[in-house]
Amino acid sequence: MPVLAAVTLINMVCLIALFKWKKWGFWGLGMTAVVAFTINLSIGVGFGKALIGLVGFAVLYGVLQIGRDNKAWPQLA
């Protein structure tokens, strides 16, 4: 549980960075999604439920790719 609490705090920091258009915030969210996925599997959460966090990260990537000339991804610093 303490590790998941730390992951949650890191997620909040990364989300704030993403709102400030920092690319490292996106990659930080990706790393914490993988860590949370691994922890969830190790504590016995079903594969489908553990996969939801990774799907959320993939959706975020897709949202950043929406728009032809106005994509958000190239605007991240």
The pLDDT of residue 76 is: 83
* Residue where the block lists tokens 């590790």: 3
What would the two tokens of residue 10 be? 């890191």
The pLDDT tens digits for 24-49 are 999 999 999 999 899 889 988 889 99
The pLDDT of residue 14 is: 95
Domain containing residue 65: 2-75
Q: Which amino acid is at 22?
A: K
Are the CB atoms for 57 and 37 separated by under 8 Å? no
What would the two tokens of residue 7 be? 């992951």
Question: What is the model's pTM?
Answer: 0.83
The structural domain count of the chain equals 1
The pLDDT tens digits for 52-73 are 889 999 999 999 999 888 888 8
Are the CB atoms for 59 and 45 separated by under 8 Å? no
